[in-house]
Chains A and B, each alone.
Chain A
């Protein structure tokens, strides 16, 4: 079983839709959670990070963590064509710096 599971999609939505991206994990030692966005033929870039359970909001993006269920989500409101990319979840334990990544979800927002 993979430590981090992420539905690879692809996911296609119309412009303006609310997008929900999810990851589940099995390692209860994971305490830090991140979302990366990767445009085609580019390196991943950090989008959001969070430590505690609950919600964290940044503009149109909301990261949600439920440690009791080992489940994290990224919500995108009012999605735009420029949001079309692959979204990777990542997480790490308290000690150490190594991140474990999900395989990424490919999102297309259609105008």
Chain B
């Protein structure tokens, strides 16, 4: 049981480049989330999804896009990367709204130079 798998683990982007952060879960969880974690800032919600075909913005969605075509996958797209997007990105999932906690992936460490 792999849980939540994120790829890549590390990436360096140049300003203006684009990339997709991949997130896959094999627990048949309906709810999925993308967070970014910056030093001293905690976890900030970027986007979330309550099921295939349904996505919604979190606290800090600007500069990002998501899609949810299947229950398993929830990719995060960065268009026109900026230094402010240098961060560690975590994907998480939960079975439903009543689930007490999330299962997190191991993160993608992104640097934009």
Q: Which residues of A contact B (CB under 8 A)?
A: 6, 8, 32, 34, 36, 41-46, 49, 88, 90, 95-99, 101-104
User: Do the beta carbons of B101 and A49 come within 8 Å of each other?
Assistant: yes
Q: Which residues of B contact A (CB under 8 A)?
A: 4, 31, 33, 40-43, 45, 48, 50, 58, 90, 92, 94, 96-107, 109
The one of A6, A42, A99 in contact with B102, judged by C-beta atoms closer than 8 angstroms, is: A99
User: Do the beta carbons of B106 and A103 come within 8 Å of each other?
Assistant: no
User: Do the beta carbons of B101 and A97 come within 8 Å of each other?
Assistant: no
Chain B residues whose C-beta falls within 8 Å of the C-beta of A45 in the assembled complex? 104
The one of B40, B41, B107 in contact with A43, judged by C-beta atoms closer than 8 angstroms, is: B107
- The verdict on A101 contacting B42 (CB below 8 Å), with A32-B100, A49-B100, A96-B97 known, is yes
